Amino acid sequence: MWVLSPMIAAETVPALSSSLISPALEQLRDLPAGDRALLAGECPSLAGRFAGNFSGALVQPMIPDGTEVIIGVVQEPVFGPLVVFGLGGVATEFLGDHAARLAPLTGADADDLIHSIRAAPLLLGHRGQPPADVTALRDALLRISRLADDLPQVAELDLNPVIARPDGVTVVDARIRVTSHGAAAPFLRQLPVRQRP
């Protein structure tokens, strides 16, 4: 649910998760932990802190525990789109546990991505924990791969975190950067453009 009023956001936050939408923040986790707590009790103060940059708050159901993964796309100038998969959340920046494959992915490529990260045991059931729905995770990878292959305008795509649970996967946060033109093939010859006198 999208709310524009800080007061409505503050009323709904206790039972739900909330993300502040502001050009000043790339992701909610860029907000200091104390301010995240402030969002629940004093949302108007937080909105005042961002003054004219407060666009609203996205309020959504809180996802129960699961394994946080990242699914992304990067346009590689020579080879085209790369699909990236790895451990997500804040750990992705510190641990660097990820793998990449060229799009379009096959089912075997998606399975390889899931099993190639060091944190794969967390997805497959570790120490008595139920395994994540690997079929749903595989399907998500194949769909993102297809999107990247069909739409070269998608320069970057970052789904982080994606919560993998025994009953499916849920995208919690998404960031997409598009360009106005498709990727050019770097090895194609181009005729020079000459100015007329």
Digit-coded pLDDT (tens) for 88-97: 987 777 888 9
Phi, psi of 3 (to 5 degrees): -120, 140
User: Rounded to an integer, what distance in angstroms lies between the CA atom of residue 176 and that of residue 158?
Assistant: 6
SS3 186: coil
SS3 100: strand
Average pLDDT value for the chain: 78
User: Rounded to an integer, what distance in angstroms lies between the CA atom of residue 57 and that of residue 16?
Assistant: 12
For 31-87, the pLDDT digits (tens) are 444 444 444 555 666 566 666 666 666 666 677 789 999 999 999 888 889 999 999
Q: How confident is the model at residue 30 (pLDDT cuts 50, 70, 90)?
A: very low
- What is the average per-residue pLDDT within 134-147? 97
Q: Which two tokens stand for residue 68?
A: 């946080």
Q: Which residue carries 């200091």 as its tokens? A: 32
Domains and CATH numbers, the chain: 2-61 (no CATH), 67-178 (3.30.470.20)
Spatial CB neighbours of 38, under 8 Å, sequence gap ≥ 6: 45, 46
pLDDT at 10: 55
Do residues 99 and 86 touch, judged by C-beta distance below 8 A? yes
Q: How confident is the model at residue 168 (pLDDT cuts 50, 70, 90)?
A: very high
SS3 165: strand
Q: Which residue carries 């750990």 as its tokens? A: 91
60 burial level (CB within 10 Å; 0-12, 13-18, 19+): middle
State the Cα angle at 92 between 180 and 126, rounded to 5°.
Answer: 130
